[in-house]
Amino acid sequence: MARKSVKLIVAGGFGTGKTTFVGSVSEISPLTTEENITEASVGVDDIRGIEGKRSTTVALDFGRITITDDIVLYLFGTPGQDRFWFMWDELSQGAIGAVVLVDTRRLDASFPAIDYFEQRQIPFVAAVNKFYGECPYDEDEIRNALKLRQDAPLMWCDARDRDSSAVTLIRLVEHAMAQLPVETWSTV
């Protein structure tokens, strides 16, 4: 049987855990270019609530995960900063879906990503990255705040945890498959 390669996007605002997510789940070392946050970029990148963050991804988070003998997922993280918006259209080419990571301390950081995938009708799951301990909101509160449609799955994850990230991706693949005919998947 031919191998299916499935392209997925890992999106979300700056500091929501994209680089961590791709790194925890990938079988290959993530191809990531991190740049130390300098005084100059502090003014540009929004670090409210994540003052401990010391590096910022300037290029691309890329990872791979084999889920069965014949299905390989390729992960592409979006650059979080607004100044890289132009890259999103290119990254989304051929992607069957996206994980949108959400930090409940800064929900607004993930609004643009949700809008982006809704407008283009790209299936996505919103994944609340738990960061420090329990999430203070319940599912309905988060759904309302994010204005998520009924059919958009919302789940909890820990981006540092391989299994948790893998479960999130599998949920996304299931959600996307439910909407797309399998023939549209690219084959290598």
Could you tell me the smallest distance in angstroms from the CB atom of residue 18 to ligand GDP?
Answer: 3
19 binds Mg ion (CB under 5 A): yes
57 binds Mg ion (CB under 5 A): yes
- The residue among 95 and 128 lying less far from ligand GDP, judged by its C-beta, is 128
Q: What is the DSSP letter of 172?
A: H
Q: How far are the Cα atoms of 40, 146, 171 from residue 104, in angstroms, in the given order?
A: 27, 10, 20
- Residue 96 near residue 28, CB atoms below 8 Å: no
Could you tell me the smallest distance in angstroms from the CB atom of residue 18 to Mg ion?
Answer: 5
Q: What is the DSSP letter of 25?
A: H
16 binds Mg ion (CB under 5 A): no
Binding site for ligand GDP (CB under 6 A): 12, 14-20, 50, 52-53, 57, 80, 129-132, 158-160
Could you tell me the smallest distance in angstroms from the CB atom of residue 166 to ligand GDP?
Answer: 14
- Pull the structure tokens for residue 98: 């996206």
Q: How far are the Cα atoms of 96, 97, 128 from residue 51, in angstroms, in the given order?
A: 34, 30, 19
Residues that bind Mg ion (CB under 5 A): 18-19, 57
